[in-house]
Structure 1
Amino acid sequence: MPTFSPRFQRKLAQCSSFSAALSSLSLPPNSTIVDFGCGSCGLTLPLALAFPELRFVGVDIKKTALDLMEARCEEVGVTNVETALSDIGAFEGEYDVAVSLHGCGQASDAAILHAVDRGRPYFVAPCCIGKVKFSLGTASAKKENHANHEGGSGGFASRTAGEGFDVLSYPRSSWLREQQIPTDVFSRICESADSSFMIEGETMNDVAVGQTSAFEYHRRCCNLVCLDRNMYAQERGYACWTCKMPGLEGSAKSDLLVGVPSNAMH
C-alpha cells in the first residue's frame, strides 16, 4: 500500500468534505461555484474533477497562483475552470455557491459577506483567525500591521476583503456586539483561536481559566468566533452550521462553516 504524507491526507480530507457539502445541494448542471482565495488549485481543481457538470471560478489576488492553476488544469485536461484576478470584495461575477478554504482572518468573513449579499449558499473553512485583530483598531494590532507593511509582506486587513467592501466590523453579529465584549478582549479571543496558541499538555492558568487545558481553551475561543460568524449570517436570513471535516477532528483547522438561505431550505 502506498504511504501518503500527512499533508496529502489533510488535503484529501478537506477536498472530500467540500465535495460532500456540494453534493448535498443537488445542483443542476452548469451551476457555478466560486472559490474565493483559491490559490494555485488546492480545492478548485479537485472539485472540478469531481463535478465535471459544474463550472468553477477561482478568485485570487495573486496572478502567479492563477497562472499555475491554469497550467495544471491544462495538464490534466480540465475545461470547467476559469480564473479571476480580484479581491474578494471586488469580484463581480455571477455564481450559485461560494466556497473558501483557509481564507486568512478577514478573508473568510469577506467570502461569507459576498455570498450573503447575493443570497447564495456558502461553505467556508476559516484559517488564521488571529489576523482578524488587524481590523479591530487596537494599538497592538496597528503596530503589528504597520510592521507588516514595512517588512513588505502586506497588511492583512488591506489584502483580504478588498476594495469592494468597507472595512469589516467585529464582532460580526449584533448578538455578540450586544454582549459588549471589550475590543482588546475580542482581539485576544481571535488570537487564541489560532493553532499557534494550542500548547498540548499545558494549562492556561495564566489567563484565568482554571485548569482548562490549552486545547480546550483554544477550541472555546474558536467556537465563539465561529458562532459569531454564524449568527451574523443567521441575522440576515440564513440557516447555519459549524461542521467538522472528517479526518481533521484533532486539527485546529477542522471547522467548515455552512450557510444556506432559509428560503432555499428543503
Structure 2
Amino acid sequence: MSDARAVRKQQQLNNLVAMVTELAHPGHTVVDFCSGGGHVGIVLAYTLPKCQVILIENKEESLVRARDRSAQLGLTNIGFIQTNLDYFTGNFNIGVALHACGVATDMVLDRCLQARAGFVISPCCYGFIQNTLKFNFPKSARFAETLSYKEHMILCRFADQTAVSLPSERRLIGKRCMGLVDLDRSWAAETHGYSVRVMTMVPEGCSPKNNMLVGIPTR
C-alpha cells in the first residue's frame, strides 16, 4: 500500500470510528460486517474498550490476519466469526461496514434493522445493485412512485462514475447519483422506525465512494 493510499484509508477509518463512537455506549456489542483483515474492527475494539466488537468475514485468511493483529495489541474485547454476513443472526447494538459492495450494503442494513441496531455503513460498487430474492429496487415507496426498476439501475450505474480519473463534471453527477441511491435506502429504513443521515466523509478526497449511512432506531 502506497503512503498516499494509507493516508486515505486512515481517513476513511477515522470517519467510521467517529460515528460509531458517537452511537456506542459501554456494554454495547458492535459488529464489523465484511471485516476483511480487521482494519475497522480492530480500531473500534481499541477505541471502545468497554464494548465488545465482533468481526464477521467469510475468508479464513483475512480472519487469521485480523486475529494476529488484535493479539499483537493485546485486545480482549474482540471476537471473530467466519461466515457469510446473511448467516449471522446474533444480537448486537451497532453494525458497521466499510465499502460494502453492491447489495452487501443492503444485506448489512437489513441485519441491523432486524436487530434494531444502529448502523454506520459506507456503500460501494453501486453498479452491482440489482433485484434479488430478498431486495427490490427502488427500496422506498417514495422513490418507487417516481422511478421504475430500470431507471433506478441507470441511476446506480451513474453513481459509480466517481473515479478521480474522470472529468470533474462527470464526478459531480456521479456524486449526486450516489446521494440519490442512498437517499432511497435511508427513506426505506425510516419506514422501519429509524432516523437516518446520509453523510459525506471528510475530506471528500479520502475515497471516490465517500458516502456514509448513519442510522439509529427511534421506536
Shift of 1:195: 4.3
Aligned partners of 1:100 and 1:124 also within 8 Å: yes
**Alpha-carbon distance in 1 for matches of 2:117, 2:25:** 12
Render the CA deviation track for 1:132-181: whole Å, top value 9, x for unaligned: 1xx33xxxxxxxxxxxxxxxxxxxx7xxxxxxxx43211111211122x2
- Tell me: CA distance 1:13–1:199, structure 2 relative to 1, closer, same or farther (3 Å): closer
CA distance in 2, matches of 1:96, 1:171: 27
Question: Aligned partners of 1:47, 1:6: CA distance in 2, in Å?
Answer: 23
Gaps of 5+ in 2: none
What residue number does 2:96 align with? 99
Percent identical: 26
Q: Following TM superposition, by how much is the alpha carbon of 1:103 offset from its aligned partner in structure 2, in angstroms?
A: 0.7
| Count of residue pairs brought into register by the alignment | 218
| Farther off after superposition, 236-245 or 74-83 | 74-83
- Give the match for residue 193 of structure 1: 159
Alpha-carbon contact 1:101-1:124 (below 8 Å) kept: yes
In structure 2, C-alpha distance between the alignment counterparts of 1:57 and 1:91, rounded to whole Å: 11
Paired residue secondary structure (1:43): helix
Structure 1 residues without counterparts, runs of 5 or longer: 137-156, 158-165, 203-212
Matching residue of 1:120: 117
- SS of 2:81's equivalent? strand
Partner of 1:49: 46
**Structure-1 residue corresponding to 2:29:** 32
Equivalent residue number for residue 137 of structure 2: 170
- Secondary structure class of the residue paired with 1:241: strand
For residues 31 and 40 of structure 1, the distance between their equivalents in structure 2, rounded to whole angstroms, comes to 22
Alignment root-mean-square deviation, CA: 1.9
Q: Distance in 1 between matches of 2:206 and 2:19?
A: 20
**Is 1:259 matched with 2:206?**
no
In the alignment, which residue of structure 1 is the partner of 2:203?
A: 247
Matched AA of 1:221 = C
SS at match of 1:39: coil
The residue that corresponds to 1:227 in the other structure is 183
Please report the TM-score for the alignment, with normalisation by the length of structure 1.
0.76
Q: 2:81 aligns to what?
A: 84
Contact 1:245 1:254 in 2 (8 A): yes
Runs of 4+ aligned residues of structure 1 deviating over 4 Å after TM superposition are 195-199
Per the TM alignment, residue 233 of structure 1 is displaced from its structure 2 partner at its CA by 0.4
Would the aligned equivalents of 2:92 and 2:115 in 1 still touch at CA under 8 Å?
no
**TM-score where L is the length of structure 2:** 0.92
| Correspondence for 2:127 among 127, 130, 154 | 130
Query: What aligned pairs does 1:13-24 form with structure 2 within 5 A after superposition?
Result: 13-24=11-22
Please state which structure has a larger fraction of its residues in strand: 2
- C-alpha deviation, 1:182, in angstroms: 3.0
CA contact (8 A) 2:31 2:94 kept: yes
